[in-house]
Amino acid sequence: MSLPTVRDYCMLEKIGAGSYSTVYKAFRKDGSQEVVAIKCVDKGSLSKSAVDNLVTEIKLLNVLKHEHIVEMKDFFWDEGHIYIVMEYCDGGDLSNFIKKKHKLPESTCRRFLQQLALALKYLRDHNVCHMDLKPQNLLLMRKPQLVLKVGDFGFAQYLSNSEHKFTIRGSPLYMAPEMLLKHKYDARVDLWSVGVIMYECLFGKAPYSSSSFQELAEKIKDSRPIEMPKAAHVSATCKDLLMALLKHNPANRITYDEFFAHDFLDLEHAPTKENYEKAAALVHKAVEMDTEKNAKEAFYLYCEALRYFIPILTDESDIKRKEVLRHRISDYIRRAETLKVAFMPQDENIGKRPAPENKGNASSLQRIPSLEKSSAFTYNELRVLSKSTTNMVDALEIGEVAEQYLAEGNYALTLEKFQSCLSVLVPLLGKEPAGRRRDLLHKQVIR
């Protein structure tokens, strides 16, 4: 099959196709030789609604610029086609990623969902509803690290919570019940789609997988209860979010504000550039308080900074930057431990800040959530502190494998791996001197 000729670009291969367009991998002919994806739309095959969708897509992509939204780089046309030049995502789409892995660990699901939520938060700020969220439209970038990006805005609209539409848009399997049944709907349709995507990530299939549209419509119409596979195991916060998204009645569905604030996502501490800057500013303030001999305030500031730094460390793909950051975090943890000892005997309620003494400066000493409440945080902190003990690192990795087998319902291998993990960690715990690492290791063992 011959590839089309497009000015300024050299077409390499076909990478996708839709009802009225074909997508090709290409590179610029100029000195940069940047690799891109070009969506070629056949003008002759366009209906009026398809033209409207295409115009809306180009207008939106010209405005929407976000790290988790596929970037439109250019668009142009000739006599027969319209060309949309897009950022090339070298990891394919989420649908193929799930098929290769069969199902994803909860930690991977959280990472993808967090990135999707950041994109949706940006879209909500711009009053945009995607209306066709599905794994096929979520593209992955592998280099320099695995990143999810929302693509294909062909059905997207400017739509607020108060507006109601009747047009059916999107893919039935991921379509909200109110849209599929031709009821009034609003921007909350995207939240249902997120729930279906989350379910498919965790369990390898959609909650209402059906052999025909009629079968799917019947399940939706009957409001059939959505159940998790019997052998499945997910955390309480994961299940809570999943079930809150998959409410048939949009009035009972989780709101956008509740979604963005949910503990499972922890968007507040997501590994973003802004949060890195927040963490750096908190450390700078902690050092100031430390210099002024204000041990308690310095301790809390270090703790707040670490809540941002740990996810950033976990997400970092560059080995050198990761190692530098790991050393910095280890230093902050050690300093926080030293500071805590300085005032611990006088303060039994270590997880909370006291009320501010100076009521005119209420922002200086506010309560912060205890780090102990976050199992992901404490586990990652333990991983950081364990780097100097090879056996501990290996055992923790075995424990992670055990968690995966547990999620897959393979209880025989789960037991075997947990026993192997504990056979190393328990003796290490007995020899571990008192301190932060011993406390975290004790928590991990008794889990």
Q: Tell whether the torsion through CA atoms of 45, 49, 52 and 58 is positive or negative.
A: negative
127 contact partners, CB below 8 Å, separation of at least 6: 158, 159, 160
The radius of gyration of the chain's CA atoms, rounded to the nearest angstrom, is 25
Comparing CA positions, the residue from 413, 443, 441, 447 lying closest to residue 427 is 441
Buried b vs exposed e over 421-430: b needs ≥16 C-beta within 10 Å?
A: bbebbeebbe
How many CA atoms does the CB half-sphere of 57 hold within 13 Å?
26
Comparing C-alpha atoms, which of 28, 21, 90 is closest to residue 57?
Answer: 21
d(CA 124, CA 28): 33
Chain Cα centroid distance, residue 218: 32
Question: SS3 for 97?
Answer: helix
Residue 140, SS3 per DSSP: strand
The structure tokens 């100097």 sit at 388
Q: Which two tokens stand for residue 124?
A: 């909500």
Known binding residue 14? Answer is: no
| Catalytically annotated residue among 132, 152, 190, 290 | 132
CB 378 within 8 A of CB 438: no
Residue 132 designated active-site = yes
What span, in angstroms and rounded, lies between the C-alpha atoms of 131 and 401?
A: 37
Residue ranges for the known binding site are: 39
Catalytic machinery residues? 132
Residue ranges for the known binding site for ATP are: 39
